[in-house]
A and B are shown apart, each in its own frame.
Chain A
Amino acid sequence: MAGDFMPESEAPKAPEIHNFKCMQCGTTIEVHVPGQSLTFACGACGSIVQEDNTGQRILTQASQLNRYKPLFTLGSKVTFRGFKWQIIGFMVRSDAEESYFWREYLLFNPYEGYRFLMEADGHWNFMFVTKKQPSNASLNVKWGGRRYRRFYIGNARVRYVLGEFYWRVKVGDSAAVQDFIAPPDILSSEKDEGESEITWTAGIYIPADDIQKAFNLIGTMPQQTGVAPNQPSKFYAKRNSLLLHWLSFVILLIAFQLIRGAGATKKVYDQVLIRDSKLTTELLKTQSFQVEKDGRNMELKLRAPLTNTWLGLSGKIVPEDGQGQVISFQRELASYDVGDDDSPLRETSVELFFPKLPKGHYHFEFQLDRDPALLPNGGRWEAGTNTLEVLATLDPPLQSNLIICLILISIYPLFYLLRDFGFENSRWSTSNQMSGG
């Protein structure tokens, strides 16, 4: 039986200790993952020891200039996202210009393997190595059924290491990195200087609160600033449902207006009157029309085609049944290719609104005045078509009410979209890929 090959496993042994003494300062360096860790950095003097390819431990860097403090005790264990993890390594990296620093913690579980916990500007990502390669590393990549957008291309340079790592690492090591985002997910590629192999890691944005709750911090939580590349937008999460609600309201509103308008709106007068353009003043009197019920609103649209001239309009609504008052109004229409402010002026139509007309018969009278200073052109004051279009409608749909309603129901969604836009702007402001929005 298989048991014949494992007599050792029957008697439990004392835990093996794999620690060794730092070749530089003699302090004990703990080894948590023997047989896999290749780099060990002394917590006391900062020396870096690496295993060579025969398994010998060699002092590689005798000290480290800069020292940084991890937020968690190395070697401690934590339960996070369903598994127990031992925090075994801490690394500080920066871009090539040293303008941007971030921190990475290496987590180990003998059943699950390794994870990386990254912190930059107080924002956290939990990442794992994946061997599933994305479609192709250009501006957009597809991975695991999602589309990721390239956010950053740059270099990552090691500034400080502490603890143990399963690869060889020392201060100054540089890697070419690319970040792709599909918030809250992130996908990163890394290629060490002088190596051909590309390592892909995938991860997810972790709210700082989750870290605070799960981990034992030995320092203060770093202040969160800006928007992280893959930070999920709380605005975006609600955007689609909000737009859908808004659209439903708009459709309802328009449908309501259409139904109400179709039922009551009635054209009572629709004629094209002919003007006599040889005259400087002229009176036009229309045929009569009827308002069948009391208290109806009337909209009157007037339009006259004009070319480089004006037309004075003194109008009257004249009741014919002896009762009620004459309603007067005055307007001026004008059309000039070059207006007062050097731009064309086109005011050749006017809309008037008369509320609550008593029932009865009416007609319109229009007193037209032309520019007396204008010399008659071939005996005419105006060029072109000499018409006055008159259209009177009872109980027109109240466009202004509709517009007010639209504005009211759009305030909140608009505010929301602006917030969302602002969030995405802040996100992409730290990208060097210029593909924001």
Chain B
Amino acid sequence: MANISCPGCGAQLVLQSPATIFVVCSYCRSTLIRDQDWTVYGKMANLPAEITPLQIGTQGSFKGEGFELIGRQRLQWANGYWTEWCANFPKGKTAWLAEAQGLLMISFPTPLPDEAKQWGELKAGAYLKMGNATFMIDDVKTARCIGSEGELPFTALSNKEITSIDASNPAGAFLSLELVPATGERRAYVGEYVEFKDLHLKNLRKLDGW
């Protein structure tokens, strides 16, 4: 954990993860990016309304390991929205809890599969190999960040464009690849669909009428 002082408003912010390089100040909504020091890159607008029981500070566990949600980015693509919550595990391990169309997925960073080094080749129906497992690409879509909050291990400024590739296998596991065309960043995550109750979540956001 590290304490920083928001260069925008002076508020004391406590960072949970050593991997954090991007912060949205919860007081003044300044977007801060770590370079040598923390620099203000503008202001983050309020996120559009949505109904989700998750919030920054929600704690849970996955396969016996505790985590806490420390940040999120919200994305929009041609056919809807999804949210990626950054889950901070002990010892600096980071996972992503994605919420899309009423489904929850948890995924962990993984080395890029060989096939993913040539992004242009990746189309729906193509195969990706990860160790012994083979994944088929379900879709390739372009998405746009429409807001972020908390702390994240990469920058998530509004309107950042990404290419998101979802692949799955019959066992229900999925592999997702994320490319940021503007910076050339490539990331791969491997994970699975999870049931809400299986994450043993607490400190949830209270929802009106629910």
Contact = CB atoms under 8 A, between A and B. Distances in A.
Contacts of A386: none
A303 interface: no
Interface residues of A, number: 41
Given A131-B193, A197-B138, A1 B56 contact: no
Contacts of B68: 2
Interface in B184-207: 193, 196, 205-207
Interface in B81-130: 81, 101-104, 124-125
A6 B80 contact: no
B48 interface: yes
Interface string A68-109: 000000000100000010000000000000000000000011
Contacts of B37: none
Contacts of A204: none
A4 interface: yes
A2 B70 contact: yes
Nearest to B71: A5
Contacts of B170: 132-135
Contacts of B138: 197
A168 B102 contact: no
A108 to B, nearest CB: 7
A5 B124 CA distance: 39
A129 interface: yes
A7 interface: yes
B76 A53 contact: yes
A3 B57 CA distance: 7
A166 to B, nearest CB: 5
Contact of B196 (A2, A36, A111): A111
B102 A114 contact: yes
B62 interface: no
Contact of B103 (A38, A113, A133): A113
Contacts of A9: 55, 205
Contact of A53 (B77, B103, B209): B77
A196 B124 contact: yes
Nearest to B168: A131
B168 A167 contact: no
Interface residues of B, number: 49
Main SS class of interface, A: loop
B95 to A, nearest CB: 16
Contacts of A53: 76-79
B51 A33 contact: yes
Interface string B6-39: 0000011110100000000011000000000000
B139 A197 contact: yes
Contacts of A131: 103, 168, 172, 174, 193
Contacts of A4: 11-14, 26
A384 interface: no
A38 B80 contact: yes
A34 B102 contact: no
Nearest to A143: B170
A16 interface: yes
A6 B103 contact: no
A401 B79 CA distance: 74
A7 B26 contact: yes
B133 interface: no
Contacts of B196: 111-113
Given A2-B56, A4-B26, A35-B81, A55 B76 contact: yes
B161 to A, nearest CB: 12
A18 interface: yes
Given A5-B56, A6-B55, A197-B139, A16 B49 contact: yes
Given A4-B14, A36-B81, A55-B76, A111 B49 contact: no
Contacts of B77: 53
A15 interface: yes
Contacts of A129: 101-103
B208 A15 contact: yes
A196 B139 contact: yes
Contacts of A32: 51
Contacts of B51: 32-36, 110
B146 A55 contact: yes
Given A32-B51, A111-B53, A166-B80, 7 more contacts: A2-B56, A4-B13, A7-B26, A36-B102, A113-B102, A132-B171, A167-B101
7 contacts: A6-B55, A34-B48, A35-B51, A111-B53, A113-B101, A129-B102, A131-B103
Closest 8 CB pairs of A and B: A35-B50, A113-B102, A2-B57, A5-B26, A132-B172, A114-B102, A15-B208, A34-B49
